[in-house]
Amino acid sequence: MLMRTDPFREFDRLAQLMTGGTAAGTWSKPNPMPMDAYRSGDEFVVVFDLPGVPAEAIDLDVERNVLTVKAERRPAAVAEGVEMQVAERPLGVFSRQLFLGDTLDADRIEAAYDNGVLTVKIPVAAQAKPRKISIGGASSEQQQIDA
């Protein structure tokens, strides 16, 4: 099972914008990144939107069942003498942490990045999958004791 962290992060971002603060994330206070998470068969899939972020600017780490995704979007280079009129695209550092339950196999995580979308696939651990348990009969144990 996946669990989201820091439910108040979006409130912090909105408060920062309303008080005139900058929306650019820093390494010490990164912006959140939008994500979707769902289960597909025997794996959980987490999809992060990171448009405009090159693949080499994304860090994906797992430590003690905590998946951390960090990315940095730098400002686009503009020619000298160009005056920016509107700048709404968020820049800076983005981060998201997910706690992976014991039912997930953190050793076999796979990630792919295509067209600004990072897709992380986390398989369900073998011990968490449903399985049949055979039932031994008391008659077989009784026969061994009598012998």
pLDDT tens per residue, range 38-83: 999 889 999 999 988 999 999 999 998 899 999 998 888 888 888 8
Query: Is the alpha carbon torsion for 124, 125, 126, 128 positive or negative?
Result: negative
User: Each residue of 73-126: pLDDT tens digit?
Assistant: 888 888 888 888 887 778 888 899 999 988 898 899 999 999 999 999 999 887
Query: Is the alpha carbon torsion for 32, 67, 41, 50 positive or negative?
Result: positive
pTM confidence score: 0.68
CB-based burial label for 118 (10 Å; 0-12, 13-18, 19+): buried
